[in-house]
Every structure is written in structure tokens, then in C-alpha cells.
């Protein structure tokens, strides 16, 4: 492992990133409020697993392709944006048509939350580039472990820290969802807002120029 002089700034920097609200937190909060508590936890699990794919990609240099092939970066970004928009529209339409079999629909939606979150994370090239740019800064060629192993270990630590803040986010969103579900009208409005957030996130991702 890297020396303490490298680990300390890594922990400080990672803690700062973990508590900065980002699209992932918004995504999980919306999943929790629109689809229920189970959906929130499964959404967090999807993001967590997807992050490991990016961590291993960073460790073995796969994400360098995203830097050297701009069209690949653009293709992934547009695919992720389209998926977000599709999910947003689906949530809004489900909110309008959910009349019978509500419990079954809710269970199915919760199971889909894992797939949706995993897909969104895998299609996010900025997550891959973040780990590629961030983790190697705290790896040391003088350490006993090879560079790739240090990056995997550091990435796993960062992912656990990020997931800890996800727990806080989901618990807070669950409380809001319980309050909103007391009124059928509020629940319907919540689903419309949640779907709109997904659509807005997708459009923002698609129109980003940097």
C-alpha cells in the first residue's frame, strides 16, 4: 500500500467527494421516492457494482481508450443520456396507469432499479475518467504491491466511502416518500417529479459540451 503521506490526502479528498451531492445521489433519491425503499437500496447496489467495473478498468488502463477515442466517449455519453430519458418517461407513464396490481408493479419496479442503476453507471464515461485520473495519484511505485493492485484497493476504499453517504441519502429519501405516500395525489406528483428529474438529467448529459 502507499505510504501514510499518500493515504492521508487520499482519505481527505475521498471524504470530500463522498459528501458532495451529485447526479448519483439524485438518481438514488428519485428511485427511492418513485419506486420505494427496496428500489433505493437496489439502486445503490447497482451504482456500487458499476463503480467496481470502472475501478478495474482504471487499474488496467482500459479507460485510456475513452481519452484516445473521443467518438467512443460521445457514444457512451449519448447512450447513457437516452437511457435516463427513457426511464424518466417510463416512471411518469407508470404513475398515470397504475390502477390495479399496484403491489406487483412496485415489486417489479424495485427489481428494475438495480438494472437501471447499473446500466446508468456503466454508460457514464465520466465515472471511468474520474477513477483513471484520481486513483493513480495516490499509488506509489515504491510500494510492495504493484500499481494496478494499489489502484484496485484504493478504488474499493473510495467506493465504500461513497456508498456510506448513499445510505444517508436513501434513508432521508425514504422518510420523504413515506410522507408523500400518505396522499395518493402527492404520490402521483412525486412520480411525475421523479420522472422529470431523470429526463432533465438525461438532457443535461446529452447537451454537455465538456
pLDDT of 98 higher than 50: no
pLDDT for position 99: 38
pLDDT of 104 higher than 50: no
Full residue range of the structural domain in which residue 11 is found: 4-16+23-207
pLDDT for position 48: 92
Helix, strand, coil: what percent of the chain each, to 5? 85, 0, 15
pLDDT for position 113: 83
Contact between 57 and 128 (Cβ < 8 Å): yes
Neighbours of 147 (CB within 10 A): 14
From the centroid of its chain, how far is CA 33? 16
pLDDT of 91 higher than 50: yes
Put residue 2 in one of left, alpha, beta given phi > 0 → left and psi -120 to 50 → alpha.
Answer: beta
Task: Find the farthest-apart pair of alpha carbons in the chain and give their distance in angstroms, rounded.
Answer: 63
Task: Quote the mean pLDDT of the chain.
Answer: 75
pLDDT for position 3: 60
pLDDT of 13 higher than 80: yes
- Encode 162-200: b = buried (16+ Cβ within 10 Å), e = exposed: beebbeebbeebbeebeebeeeeeebeebbbbbbebbbe
pLDDT for position 102: 39
Q: Cα–Cα distances in Å, from 136 out to 17, 165, 209? A: 16, 23, 26
Tally the domains of the chain.
Answer: 1
List pLDDT tens digits, range 121-134. 888 877 888 888 78
List pLDDT tens digits, range 141-175. 777 788 888 889 999 999 998 888 888 888 888 77
Q: What pTM, to 2 d.p., does this model score?
A: 0.70
From the centroid of its chain, how far is CA 196? 17
Mean pLDDT across 28-50? 85
Amino acid at each position: 500500500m502507499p505510504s501514510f503521506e499518500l493515504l492521508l490526502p487520499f482519505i481527505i479528498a475521498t471524504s470530500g467527494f463522498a459528501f458532495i451531492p451529485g447526479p448519483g445521489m439524485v438518481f438514488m433519491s428519485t428511485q427511492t421516492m418513485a419506486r420505494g425503499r427496496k428500489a433505493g437500496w437496489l439502486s445503490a447496489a447497482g451504482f456500487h457494482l458499476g463503480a467496481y467495473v470502472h475501478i478495474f478498468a482504471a487499474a488496467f488502463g482500459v479507460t485510456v481508450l475513452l481519452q484516445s477515442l473521443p467518438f467512443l466517449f460521445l457514444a457512451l455519453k449519448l447512450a447513457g443520456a437516452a437511457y435516463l430519458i427513457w426511464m424518466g418517461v417510463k416512471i411518469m407513464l407508470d404513475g398515470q396507469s397504475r390502477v390495479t396490481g399496484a403491489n406487483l408493479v412496485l415489486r417489479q419496479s424495485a427489481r428494475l432499479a438495480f438494472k437501471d442503476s447499473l446500466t446508468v453507471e456503466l454508460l457514464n464515461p465520466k465515472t471511468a475518467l474520474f477513477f483513471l485520473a484520481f486513483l493513480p495519484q495516490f499509488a506509489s511505485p515504491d510500494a510492495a504491491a504493484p500499481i494496478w493492485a494499489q489502484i484496485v484497493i484504493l478504488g474499493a476504499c473510495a467506493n465504500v466511502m461513497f456508498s456510506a453517504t448513499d445510505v444517508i441519502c436513501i434513508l432521508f429519501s425514504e422518510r420523504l416518500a413515506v410522507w408523500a405516500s400518505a396522499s395518493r395525489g402527492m404520490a402521483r406528483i412525486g412520480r411525475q417529479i421523479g420522472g422529470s428529474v431523470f429526463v432533465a438529467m438525461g438532457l443535461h448529459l446529452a447537451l454537455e459540451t465538456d
